[in-house]
Amino acid sequence: MKFSEIPARAVSTSYRVPYADTDQMGVVYYGNYLTLFERARNELMRSTGFTYDQMEKNGGAMLPVVESHVNYQTPARYDDLLTIAAWVQEAHGVRVKIACVVLRGEEVLAHGYTIHAVCDIRTRRPIRVPDYILSTLADPSTP
């Protein structure tokens, strides 16, 4: 992925890498990139005025991760100021695919996605992606 491929609808947040996020080699531990993706997904929801908490309490839905994928291009290091961006790449049936990218300036460090099943919070059974989630997050027909 290149910086120029990030869609305009992406929502981003900044994050300064603390020492605790790095491993013995001085780079961000690979598993922490999924935590960065989670930070971006939270900001994606928050930017719409419909947080995860509101979705669960008022909408009766939750979005558990059922698949994740990360492509690592170059490592982030202690004290790097990162930008993490997320956008809805696809939404249909009972699934939502959220793409994420981690940047240092315009340099792509990692990119990937998480796929979420939409589930009824009471029954924990899959449900179709509700219209309020589709309209709140993004137009899934745009790339």
Catalytic residues: 23
Burial 100-111 (b: 16+ CB within 10 A, else e): bbbbbeeebbbb
Q: Rounded to a whole number, what is the distance in angstroms from the first to the last CA of the chain?
A: 14
- What whole-number distance in Å separates Cα of residue 69 and Cα of residue 86? 14
Tokens at 74, concatenated: 């170059």
The dihedrals phi and psi of 29, each to the nearest 5 degrees, come to -60, 135
- In this structure, are residues 71 and 102 in contact, taking their beta carbons and an 8 Å threshold? no
Over the Cα atoms of the chain, what is R_g?
16
